[in-house]
Structure 1
Amino acid sequence: MQIVHLPEVDIHWHEDGDPNGFAVVFANSLGTDLRLWDKIIDRLPHAGLRLIRFDKRGHGLSSCPPGPYTMEVLAKDTEHFLGLIGVNECAFVGLSIGGMIGQMLAHRQPDLVRGLVLSNTGAKMGDAAMWRDRISRIRSGGLESIADAVMDRWFCEPFRGTTECRGWRNMLTRTPADGYIGCCNAIVDADLTGSTSELRLPTIGIGGSNDFASPPEVVRTTTALIPGSRYVEISDAGHLPCVEQPDVFAGHLKTFLKEDLHVGSI
């Protein structure tokens, strides 16, 4: 188990592959931990790549400081964490709130983020009333009270009938409620449209055809804010295509690393 101690939070992280290779950093969605990327890590070449995953504050095995959080705080956590583990340049792969962290990090530290993968995310996600209603429900009934509705947004119907889906539901409900709510507050207050429009770096957007949390049009529109970017859509996938369609997701990521970032090991 690897922990990096920051002034306000302990960050749990894991790495695979070549410790001297090109860094690919993965940031998780709301209500998941770094195991979100297990299937993708298994499908990427490990030679020449340093594959880094971490749990944001309030999630997984990272500590859970009092909220509310802001997107700037989450981006600063990530920036500080990467500096302490010696990452000076990376491809950043962010899903949902992880993609919002990636957008802000790329704007704050353009020399750090060489390429950006925006999966199932947006410059702005949802409206304030929706997030506040979710926060209220969690405070009164815990994460269990929203778990079934979240599974409907995360996965297509066939996957929801599998035993694997039960594990993802357990992951969600075992997330610290304060950490989940803290990150909800960060999303409520975040509109990154202006700063993301200023980004100038290789970018690919990845949407899921059946994503009801970050619909394809939201991902497509956000990706289009960055000149020269491109968008791909994965069929038969909801909010977590890296789980439902890992072969397709990993294929898009490998193509991006090879053709857009010219990483020679792919």
Structure 2
Amino acid sequence: MNGTADRLVPYRGRFAPSPTGPLHLGSLTAALGSWLMARHHGGTWLVRIEDLDPPREQPGMADQHLHDLACFGMVSDETVVRQSQRSELYAEALAKLRRDGWAFECRCSRSDLAATAGVHLRCVEHPSGPHAAWRVRLPRETAAFNDGIRGRYAQDLAQEIGDVVVRRTDGFWAYQLAVLVDDEQQGITQVVRGADLLDSTPRQIAMQHLLGYSTPAYAHLPVVREASGAKLGKSLASLALEATRPLPALRAAFALLGQDAAALDGATDARDALRRAVTDFNPAAIPARDHLLAQP
């Protein structure tokens, strides 16, 4: 499988944060990377709020994200989409997968999956009940695509992924389905996001094919990690961004994208910094490796 967008189609990219905590340096790096790629190609940049997990979300955080992005000079070119308002579209996609024989109900627990390292290969028999998830049975094949930054990436869908949850036992829609529906509905041609989602891409491309969707091109940006190697979490309040002082964080994020932060010297505000960043931006300089923060 190759995720390649038609070069003749106007570039449409997006940034899609989850409102589970404040934006941090890693979030800003992903936002800036996707914004710069869109501007570099003369395209459109969208913001989508991925608010599918109410138990983990913080009240007012989605609006705070939009406010902070604006302070850093980045505003969606079109109306902001919120996944919490798009349930009907996800239901239509699940209905198609059911009609075509790819989706099925599953009552397996985490303990049921422990024997296969969390990979769902078959259902364990349970008495029928109301708490069932919906899964998609992926084709038994090796899926591969060419990432714009990381190069070729391949997965054995059966052995490494198994059957994918698309609706959870609590009734909430799963990210793996919603992101496909939204990218298709919004006409996204290039997905530029953090490399923590690289592993999700082959299964997403496989499900795009099952749904008859187009496949965008993918480029996975370096992830900012703690010194231990763990992904930088939104819960690390000490690393939360100061939206009232955008220039230092923009310089740091620009550097994490492999760019020369000195190009932003002399910028008077966030918009000026972004103008300079667009002029100097070189996509080929984005590193194909993650960044470790030094111990405090």
TM-score category (smaller protein): 0.3 to 0.5
Q: TM-score, normalised by structure 1?
A: 0.35
Structure showing the higher helix proportion among its residues: 1
| Bigger CA radius of gyration | 2
Higher relative contact order (CA 8 A, sep 6+): 2
